[in-house]
Amino acid sequence: MPIEWNEKDGIFHLYNSKVSYLIQIVYGKYPAHLYWGRRVQTNQASAILTFKGRAFSPSTEPDHPQFSLDTLPQEYPTFGNGDFRTPGYQLQTADGSTITELVYDSHEIFQGKRPIEGLPASYVEDESEAETLVITLVDSKLGIGLHLQYTIYQDFEVITRSVAFEHLGSQDVQILKCMSMSVDFHHADWDWLHLHGTWGRERHIEREPLHQGTQMISSARGASSHQHNPFVALLSKSADEEHGDVYGVSLIYSGNFQASIDVDPFETARLSMGINPFDFSWLLKPGGFFQAPEVLMVYSSEGLGGMSRTFHKFLRKRVCRGVYRDITRPILINNWEATYFNFNERKLKEIADAGKALGIELFVLDDGWFGKRENAKSSLGDWVVDKKKLPNGLEGLSEYIRKKGMKFGLWVEPEMVSPDSDLYRKHPDWCLHVPGRNRTPSRNQLVLDLSREEVCDYLINTFTEVFQSAQISYVKWDMNRNMTEVGSAALPPERQRETAHRYMLGLYRIVDKLTERFPDILFESCSGGGGRFDPGMLYYMPQTWTSDNTDAAVRLKIQYGTSIVYPAVVMGSHVSDVPNHQVGRTTPLVMRCHVAMTGNLGFELNIDKLSGDDKKLVAEQIKQYHKIKEIVCFGDLYRLMSPFAGMDSAWMYVSEDKGKAVLFYFKTMASPNPPFLRLKLRGLDNEKIYRINNGGKDYFGSELMQMGLNLPLIKNDFSSYLYYLEALQ
């Protein structure tokens, strides 16, 4: 039984072979956090709680003056009864008060895991995989119930959490804040790590010590954002890639979020995560229910690398869905950087022909195929093929591609509308806006109001038609701006601050319907590159365009940072032209191929214009990718040298049975008269003998891991090496 309830002490113990999570209901009322970490056996778990009356920390329990909510490690803290730290939630009642008294009422433990209404969430394929605990707290004066939901998986070091409010009372209540989780750590001697960036520079790693006060990341952009990924980790001071305690939390949500860590004067640390409370509220009517998004909580005793590998497996197997979940993806060529908006059918066919000749399997037609879209100034919303560019329509082009034995894919940006479009002229109130205020454009476009049911229905119908109009095997779902003037013409004043979350619920409904209607289409989500790279989108679309920056050197950092949470199979990763369109840098084709081969390989250039030698090299690399793609996409990742630390980067993927591995080594700037570098590999089998690069030398796994592999002395900038390791039988 992975969830035990010790009624005598009021303790819940959630565990599997690696992890324990303990909660105690103190005085039959207050859910206290006892422990989260490496698996423990417990006898005196409640002894971990010590109470001491502290000045200015009031007690809600007259018989226990030593007790205070202010010092209790809590599972879901409130504000207003003595805990002066950051609360998990805040409600406002009809009389204006924000005081609540939610205390333990009941609990339920069941096998498996129930879906979360309207939101993406992790799932089980069989009830025996996991067990779920729902603790219900009630404020009897308000008639409000709060469900704290925890699931522990048998085979993953993962606990999932979410919360939901249920209103059984009689007066309206405004939810002002509703975080999805809160955990109080009994000390604050941690570093925190998060992934930050901007367009073209996503998910760069930052690691800093915790300090007194609050450290926070968030998005108020209407998307999870390029700026901050909905993920943070706490690491013990000595934790590195292999060793140490690491706690990672990741929100399954694609909109505004907040993650914060508060250190109080007694050196405890409160980690919480959920929908960003800034500019959010939700009117809960009697009979209503509000569900917050789910958080994945990973504990690793094997450092950051261990945490990443757990996230990778879990996201691949229990968040991503659909026919593509467990298979490698076709190698694609996308026309965007080759042509931008300036293409015709002939040009596209030339790219497809050249791609096919080199072994590319899927041709993707990007932006510019519809309306009068000569540039980014018009036509979003008018999803009718431009016959000037494509006289035979999508069907004609798709037929040509398919006859060649390739698949056909299409770019769309459903959530947006150009002011210069028939859709906008017909429905000017269908975009997010505030009456009497400016409608601030970004990339010349406005955001459709997906909080409105009729707008969502319209998009479902429109894109059902588009996807049926030609045989489409792949869709790139783009979203190229963030939200401004967030308001909805369809919502009453007291619900205006619900708009951004309702937008997400609308978006999830649309993509749920379309991915269900078109189960054989491979969907890739995108937001100006990786502006919405999160588990929420991955639930519907099993891969994401990692960044609009295709420069191989910058991509080392972006992909390395992304790998902290996300597996290689979900990272769209393309070889593009030089000088690179984003940074003007020229890197060798082989390095561009190798970097792209550490994710989901694709191409995005005028491949027909490559020299004969370059074409030969591309064909060879494609062949090589076929050999390694199962290992890269589904193997275990070991990061060996960080591009954030210097000029050398290296990481490797090891197949589940440890029979095969692929090592990538990159050097960005060569240094004069360099030292010899010896790289210790990881994740191999000590006893197995590995042959390197087919015909190279043979080494024991222990040799490679303990003594290391000599790296070449490098003279050239932007050098890259791919080593293929195969165990001898």
Q: Which is nearer to ligand DGJ, 545 or 603 (CB)?
A: 545
Q: Which is nearer to ligand DGJ, 280 or 336 (CB)?
A: 336
Q: Which is nearer to ligand DGJ, 13 or 201 (CB)?
A: 201
Q: Which is nearer to ligand DGJ, 157 or 548 (CB)?
A: 548
Q: How far is the CB of 550 from ligand DGJ (least distance, A)?
A: 9
Q: Which residues contact 302 (CB under 8 A, 6 or more apart)?
A: 242, 243
Distance between CA atoms of residues 353 and 340, nearest Å? 18
Yes or no: say if 501 and 282 are a contact pair by the CB < 8 Å rule.
Answer: yes
DSSP state of 294: P
- DSSP states of 442-501 as a string? BTTBEEB-TTSHHHHHHHHHHHHHHHHTTT--EEEE-------S---TTS-GGGGGGHHH
Distance between CA atoms of residues 516 and 464, nearest Å? 11
2 near ligand DGJ, judged by CB under 6 A:
no
634 near ligand DGJ, judged by CB under 6 A:
no
The residue whose two tokens read 């891969």 is 543
526 near ligand DGJ, judged by CB under 6 A:
yes
Q: Which is nearer to ligand DGJ, 36 or 545 (CB)?
A: 545
Where do runs of H (alpha helix) occur along 563-646? 589-596, 612-634
DSSP state of 330: P
Q: Which is nearer to ligand DGJ, 411 or 539 (CB)?
A: 411
* Selected range binding ligand DGJ among 194-202, 247-255, 302-310, 523-531, rule: CB under 6 A: 523-531
- Size of the chain, expressed as the number of residues it contains: 729
* Selected range binding ligand DGJ among 42-50, 186-194, 525-533, 665-673, rule: CB under 6 A: 525-533
Q: What amino acid occupies position 70?
A: D
Give the residue from 310, 309, 206 showing the smallest Cα distance to 259.
206
Bridge-based pairing state of the strands 474-477 and 407-412: parallel
600 near ligand DGJ, judged by CB under 6 A:
no
Q: How far is the CB of 546 from ligand DGJ (least distance, A)?
A: 10
Q: CA torsion sign, 495 to 496 to 501 to 507?
A: positive
Distance between CA atoms of residues 682 and 684, nearest Å? 6
CB atoms within 10 A of CB 715: 11
Determine the size of the site formed for ligand DGJ (CB under 6 A): 11
* Selected range binding ligand DGJ among 158-166, 522-530, 561-569, 651-659, rule: CB under 6 A: 522-530
336 near ligand DGJ, judged by CB under 6 A:
yes
11 near ligand DGJ, judged by CB under 6 A:
no
Distance between CA atoms of residues 139 and 35, nearest Å? 26
* Selected range binding ligand DGJ among 310-318, 521-529, 654-662, 704-712, rule: CB under 6 A: 521-529
Region 393-412 residues binding ligand DGJ, contact defined as CB under 6 A: 411
366 in catalytic set = no
> What are the phi and psi torsion angles at 412 (to 5°)?
-140, 155
Dig out the tokens for 699 from the structure: 């080494």
* Selected range binding ligand DGJ among 351-359, 431-439, 524-532, 675-683, rule: CB under 6 A: 524-532
Distance between CA atoms of residues 23 and 490, nearest Å? 43
> What are the phi and psi torsion angles at 37 (to 5°)?
165, -155
Q: Which is nearer to ligand DGJ, 408 or 411 (CB)?
A: 411
529 near ligand DGJ, judged by CB under 6 A:
yes
Tell which one of 67, 370, 533, 545 touches ligand DGJ (CB under 6 A).
545
Q: Which is nearer to ligand DGJ, 390 or 722 (CB)?
A: 390
Q: Which is nearer to ligand DGJ, 397 or 526 (CB)?
A: 526
Bridge-based pairing state of the strands 228-236 and 213-219: unpaired
Q: Of the residues 548, 551, 577, 648, which is catalytic? A: 548
Half-sphere exposure of 149 (CA within 13 A, CB side): 26
Q: How far is the CB of 271 from ligand DGJ (least distance, A)?
A: 32
Q: How far is the CB of 336 from ligand DGJ (least distance, A)?
A: 5
Q: How far is the CB of 383 from ligand DGJ (least distance, A)?
A: 14
Q: Which is nearer to ligand DGJ, 511 or 526 (CB)?
A: 526
364 near ligand DGJ, judged by CB under 6 A:
no
Coil vs helix vs strand at 9: coil
Q: How far is the CB of 339 from ligand DGJ (least distance, A)?
A: 11
Q: Which is nearer to ligand DGJ, 146 or 605 (CB)?
A: 605
478 in catalytic set = yes
Q: What amino acid occupies position 545?
A: W
Q: How far is the CB of 68 from ligand DGJ (least distance, A)?
A: 51
CB atoms within 10 A of CB 302: 18
Yes or no: say if 440 and 485 are a contact pair by the CB < 8 Å rule.
Answer: yes
Q: How far is the CB of 348 from ligand DGJ (least distance, A)?
A: 15
524 near ligand DGJ, judged by CB under 6 A:
no
Does an H or E element contain 139, and which?
Answer: strand 130-139
The residue whose two tokens read 């992934």 is 195
Tell which one of 245, 302, 367, 577 touches ligand DGJ (CB under 6 A).
367
Region 688-727 residues binding ligand DGJ, contact defined as CB under 6 A: none
Tell which one of 548, 551, 577, 726 touches ligand DGJ (CB under 6 A).
548
Dig out the tokens for 701 from the structure: 């796994």
Q: How far is the CB of 350 from ligand DGJ (least distance, A)?
A: 20
Q: How far is the CB of 647 from ligand DGJ (least distance, A)?
A: 28
Dig out the tokens for 49 from the structure: 């709680």
Region 204-263 residues binding ligand DGJ, contact defined as CB under 6 A: none
Distance between CA atoms of residues 290 and 288, nearest Å? 7
Region 441-500 residues binding ligand DGJ, contact defined as CB under 6 A: 478, 480
Q: Which is nearer to ligand DGJ, 262 or 478 (CB)?
A: 478
Q: Of the residues 83, 245, 262, 478, which is catalytic? A: 478
Distance between CA atoms of residues 79 and 74, nearest Å? 12
415 near ligand DGJ, judged by CB under 6 A:
no
Yes or no: say if 515 and 541 are a contact pair by the CB < 8 Å rule.
Answer: yes
157 near ligand DGJ, judged by CB under 6 A:
no
CB atoms within 10 A of CB 60: 18
Q: Which residue is nearest to ligand DGJ (CB)?
A: 367
366 near ligand DGJ, judged by CB under 6 A:
yes
* Active-site residue list: 478, 548
* Contacting positions for ligand DGJ (CB under 6 A): 336, 366-367, 411, 478, 480, 526, 528-529, 545, 548
